[in-house]
Structures are given as C-alpha cells and as structure tokens.
Structure 1
C-alpha cells in the first residue's frame, strides 16, 4: 500500500537545521571564520601582510644574529636572547589575532525604525488621514552633566549611543569607535581597543630589542677581530638590514604608541581627535589622568551584544505599510522595506488604480565621507510626501528629492487612455460573459 510521505518541515529537528545562524544572515561587510567564531573586517587579507612584516625580521634575527650570540655568551644567557625574541613575537601575534578576530563592539541593527517619543498610535484627522510623525535627526543625552548630541543611523535604524559611529568599511555601528585599522583588518572600538594598544606598544618594544642586539653583535665582532666598526658591519649584512628595518618601523609603531598614550590620558578617540571635537568645548568623558588609564586597562570588557552562532528564526514576509500614516525616519523613513547603504529603494504608489508605478531613488550622497568615515546620511525629511495617497488616483505624490529639486509624478494622457481602454474592455468582456451565461 502506498504511504504518503510526511510534509517537509514536520520534523522539529529538520526545522532547526534549516534555520540559519546569525553570521549567515549578517548584513554588515564582515568576514566570518570557523562558523562565526571569529569575525574580521572585509580587508582581512592585510592581516597576512602584517604577520609577515613581524615574523620575517624576527626569523632573520634568530638565524643570523641570536644564534651567533649563543656562542659568544654563556649557555643560559645566549639561549635566553633567542627565547625572549621568539616568545615575545608569539605574544605579539596573539594580541594581533585577538584585536582582529573579535567583535569590536558592534551594535545590533533594528529590524524596524524606533517609534517617536510620545507616539500613542494613529490619531484621526480630517479626511481619515493619519499625520506623518518624523523622527528627530538628533537627540540630546546627558553625559556626566554635559549635553551630548546623538545621531540617527539610517542603515542600522537606531540612535547611536554616545561615542558610537558607523564604519563605512565594515558597515556597522561600533561603540566607542576609534578608527578602522587596515593593518589589523578590523574596526577598533570598545571591546578591542585595549588589545590594539598593547599590540602596538609590544611591537615597539620588539623593534627596540632587535635593534639593540644587532648592534651588540656588531660590537662583538669589532672587539673580537680588532677592526673598525664599518668593517665589522660588512661582516654581518643581516644585522645591517635589521637595523635599517627596525629603525624605520620604530618611528611608525613608536609614534602610534605615543599618540595613543596622549589619547588615553585625555580620554579621546582617534575619530574625535581628528574631528576636533573637544577643541572648543569641554570633554565630558575626561575624568583625570589616573581614571582615564584605569578605564582602558583595569575595567572589565563588556560582553558582545551579538550572538553570531545563535540560530535566528526566518523573518516573515514584510507587510505593506500605508504611506500616509505611521512615522518616518529623519532622512527617508523606512516605510517601504529596509533601506540599506548602497541599495536603491523603490517607491510604490499605493491605491492609484492604474497598475504599480515604481521609481528608483538616486542614492548618491548617502556616503558622508568626513574624515574617511561614513557618519550619517543627509537629511531627506524635506522631500517626503505629506498627503495620503490611499484611494486618490487623481492626486499624484511628490517625489523624494535626495538633495535635488522636488518634482511630481505625472501620468501621461496615453497611459490614462490605455488604462481606460483596459477597463472598458474588461467591462465589455464581463458583460458578454454574463449574457452568454444567461443564454
């Protein structure tokens, strides 16, 4: 006897397997490894170059300098030179991976825009229309007794917390955003700034260590053979290469270390410093030298707000919204779908009675490239429709301008004649069908 197989999805275990994980539906530009256990920026390939720039000179140092010094010094002292170099290099590479491969403090996106404050539902006005409620472009919050403005992020559909900014490279809002470092291929923020500074500072010490022992080896050759220092340098070309390399590198990483020591002591971020945030006003986060250092190095790092390996239920289909009611964002208003950076949303005319008219909105100008970071989209609240279009085919909505002069959508007489002809043919067809059925 034939048995009808059970429908697919009836097994709860099969349904659980079908549900994707968070990192599989991630809307940012990040790259995940080991099934979401490590999160990197889109430029993670530069991390390989950084590892090569650290490991290659240390390998040359161990082979051509430290190994020779083992013969010149006593057994334990000679071995310790190489052991310290290798151990310190592994420690630096570990800091690099922790800085690059963890969540820097990404704030999860909202599925829908937040409701305006004081919004108690649609209020009926004349003609059955609902008023448009616009979200404010900025909001004021109080931090340590000072008023700080926070911006609305159109991509993440949330008000950014203080010191948070949207990284245009990773396409995420990051808490206490410092900068996006191409050398580690990751944003530097609240959860990895400590490890980033330790990485830069430790790399500076490694450069000084290699630089110093290369000169020690040259002086050992000079004293052993009773020759000039220039002739001693020609006998160890590897030392000369390492001295030049570490001298150039220490200016880069050493200068970066000094700069971030200044930022920590004044409780600033690189993003705030480059934008001259506190040149004309008081820094509300500055609490004194000691407290500033304790905040960075001696406070617990908050847990990630994202569970990248957690299963997420499949989102149901988006329900259409009425254009004339509800509320809109300060720029575009997420009344139609999900506005993503780089996508071109469509505006569908509701209840026009003559098909579906679609018009792509130009997305030029979404990127605000001040200082190399995408901070916010332009204010588009001036070009949004105010009147309800539901059931009013004769009134055409105004087009959102996005920085251009506003216009109107006009339906040509040919389209109206075509629509009238289609409607007439439908009535004639239905009338003849009813006559045929009556006969």
Structure 2
C-alpha cells in the first residue's frame, strides 16, 4: 500500500489527524504553554470575576468582565494553535542534488592503486538579485537544494523554512513565512490578557478597600488569589510584553530574529526594508502563501536519474574489471601457441620429471618473456623439443599479467636425450 507524504516525512515533525496538523518534535511543550494560559484564567474567573458580576448593576455590565476574560482566552489559544499546528513554510526536499550545477574534477583525487578518480563538484554558494542587490544563498546538504533568500535550516525540526525567524519552544514549532503573523498576534494578545487580568484584580482589591476592608493589607489577605494573579501577570508581562516590543521593531525594519542576531555587527544594508508602513503591510495585509507540501498526498516514486557525466566517473572502475579479462585472454593465447608447437610424449617420463622437481623444490623462475625466448633458443640450437612445466602462483596474482614459467634444471640436462624424437609437454 502506498504511503502518504506525512508517513514518509524525513523531518523531525509530528503529525496528527492523518497529516492534517503538523507540529515540531517538541510538541509536548505546547501543553505547558496552554496550561500557563488556562490555569490563571480559571483562577481569575472563580475567585475574582465572580465577585465583580454585581459591582456594575447598569445593564449587568459586571458579566462583561467574565465574558471578555473567557473569549479573550479562547482567542489566544486559537492563535497559539494556528502558530503551532500549521506548516511554517517548509521547503520540500529534493530527491537528488541539482544536476545543472554538476562538474567533475578528474585530477582531484587519487586512489590506492594510483588511478585518478573524478569527484563531484558544484558551488556551495550562489548569488541572486534581491531588490537590485546581490544576496548569497547557500546549498543545504540535508535538503539537497539551494536555500531561497531568508531561508534557513532548522536543526530541531530538520527542515529548511522560508523566512525563518526562530524555533519557538513555547509553541513547539518553527516560526517562518506562513505562521509569523499568528505568532506575533499570539504574543501580543497574551500580553494584553496579562494586562487585563492584572487590572481586574487591582479593581477588585479597590472594591474591597472601599467596603469592609479599608486597608491594603486587609484587602490582600481577604483575596490571596488576586495577589497571586497580579504577581504572575506582572512577571509574564515582562516576557510576552518585551517579546511584543522586540518583534514590533523587527517588523518595522523588516528583519527576522535570525537575521538580527546573526548580522547585527555586519552593518550591511537591509535589502528587504521597504519602509515602516510597507513592512507592516507585508506582514499583516498580504495573503499568506499556500503550503508547498501536501502532507496527505500519496508518495510518488521518482525514477533515479544518472548525471550526464557519471559515465566518465565510472570509467576507472571499468578498467579494473577489464584487467582480469585481459590477463585471462593473454594466458589462453600463450597456451594455445605452445600447444601448437608441442607434441605429447611419454606420460610416465613426464610424471617422473614432475616428481623430481617437487622433491627438489628449488626450480628456477623466469619471467614469461625470458622463458619463452630461452625455450626458442634451445629448440633452434638442439633441434629438439624441451619438456616445460608451467605453474600458476596461487598465493597472489596482483601486479602480474600471466603465470610463471618454470624450467627444471634436470630437463635441460636431458636435452640431448630428448633431441631425437622428443615432444614439448605442458601443464596448465
């Protein structure tokens, strides 16, 4: 059965509901963030907002305090899910490196046998034009593609993300082109929720002081939940409020968190800055691009293509295979020629010669060319045929084109007795 894209996904993401929602590998931190939002609001509704329902009798306005807190909390949680559960702008991986950039360097590497092996070469950095200015883009070894401008590879999610801002552990997802808007709204809304809860708790303390608890200390002792919530919101506001201000600055200058921290000291011109108003419109008013990935689609097997120059790169390997074939062919040709000029003699005498040679175990070894020339010389001088034995070296055949020809000294000694009717005997 064919797999779907999310089932064969090579990144570190987590999918639920059949690939309809995508999260980062640290998705469990999302539950911590949700609890940090829900638990304080529940405490506020039970111990603070409930007592403010009848403090504004006109049009029952006190109920609005409770409703606003609940609706605002739901709005924050929805923004959090839109940030965490959607594709942040992942660029699909390529199945092979860009072939149009291939080049082979035949002199770059030499193997153990002394042969040169071509290596694959292609540029690691390229330049593209953005708003009339050259921008360098890098090649990603993991995704096997040249990253578009403002794209970076997230080491946590193991994906290349367009307009990569950062990986946020609080939402368990990368922040990129397709969810940056929701991330900023989530952070800024959380800051407003903190301000709202803090203000309502302070208002409730004020009502207590106007009533039966005239001092601040007595009012705080009567409502310890208000004290805890005010301290919690004050601390949280430093975090989400500071983050909101920082991202307002980034949006106004059209930067990302990654670019701000990495290129802060370079003093290079920001080629993406189009003015404060246009920068805000780019983030909040332009339609979000559709995802490049269809996680529920079926995986289509791609036929592997061979680079056009790959045949050249494999030529040295083909030579190593032809070496064995040429060696065998040479041996067969030499053996055939010797058989044509030889005649089989007495088998018993041949066996005796072999036995004496094995007992001696000190035969003289010649190279192929020297042994053949010596054999021809003896034939021409004596007019007889010399018994010759041929043995193959069994231990190692590296670096030889043929086997060794061994001529026993006893055979040369019997040359005269063989001259009349002898034959040339060979052993393969």
Tell me, yes or no, whether TM beats 0.5: yes
Matched, 1:111 2:95: yes
Alignment of 1:173-188 (within 5 A): 173-188=160-175
Alignment of 1:223-302 (within 5 A): 223-225=210-212, 227-276=214-263, 279-302=266-289
Cα offsets for 1:145-204 (capped at 9, x unmatched): 111000000000000000000000000000000000000000000000000000000000
Q: 1:211 maps to which residue? A: 198
CA distance in 2, matches of 1:326, 1:204: 63
CA distance in 1, matches of 2:223, 2:190: 24
Q: 2:81 aligns with which of 64, 74, 97?
A: 97
Q: Is the 8 A contact 1:264 1:293 kept in 2?
A: yes
Secondary structure (helix, strand or coil) at the match of 1:24 reads: coil
Unaligned regions of 5+ residues in structure 2, if any? Answer: 107-115, 324-392, 399-428
Q: Is the 8 A contact 2:163 2:177 kept in 1?
A: yes
Unaligned regions of 5+ residues in structure 1, if any? Answer: 1-17, 124-128, 328-349, 351-386, 396-415, 422-439
Q: Is the 8 A contact 1:103 1:191 kept in 2?
A: yes
Q: 1:159 aligns with which of 119, 123, 146?
A: 146
Q: 2:26 aligns with which of 40, 43, 46?
A: 43
Q: Is the 8 A contact 1:323 1:389 kept in 2?
A: no
CA distance in 2, matches of 1:145, 1:256: 32
Offset, 1:324: 6.4
Q: 1:196 maps to which residue? A: 183
Secondary structure (helix, strand or coil) at the match of 1:147 reads: strand
CA distance in 2, matches of 1:86, 1:76: 17
Cα offsets for 1:46-68 (capped at 9, x unmatched): 00000000000000000000000
CA distance in 1, matches of 2:259, 2:394: 59
Q: 1:437 maps to which residue? A: none
Cα offsets for 1:79-116 (capped at 9, x unmatched): 00000000000000000000000000000000010023
Q: CA RMSD in A?
A: 3.0
Alignment of 1:355-374 (within 5 A): none
Greater RCO (Cα-Cα under 8 Å, separation 6 or more): 1
Offset, 1:314: 4.0
Secondary structure (helix, strand or coil) at the match of 1:71 reads: coil
Q: Is the 8 A contact 2:101 2:123 kept in 1?
A: no
Larger Rg computed on CA atoms? 2
Offset, 1:391: 2.5
Q: Is the 8 A contact 2:105 2:120 kept in 1?
A: no
Q: Is the 8 A contact 1:323 1:388 kept in 2?
A: no
Q: Is the 8 A contact 1:58 1:85 kept in 2?
A: yes
Offset, 1:290: 0.3
Cα offsets for 1:3-36 (capped at 9, x unmatched): xxxxxxxxxxxxxxx1111001000000000000
Cα offsets for 1:215-239 (capped at 9, x unmatched): 0000100001251111111100000
Q: 1:391 maps to which residue? A: 319
Aligned length: 320
CA distance in 2, matches of 1:418, 1:254: 79
CA distance in 2, matches of 1:173, 1:326: 33
TM-score by structure 2 length? 0.69
Offset, 1:325: 5.1
Q: Residues 96 and 189 from structure 1, CA distance in 2 versus in 1: closer, same or farther, beyond 3 angstroms?
A: same
Q: 2:40 aligns with which of 48, 57, 63?
A: 57
CA distance in 1, matches of 2:239, 2:394: 71
Offset, 1:313: 2.6
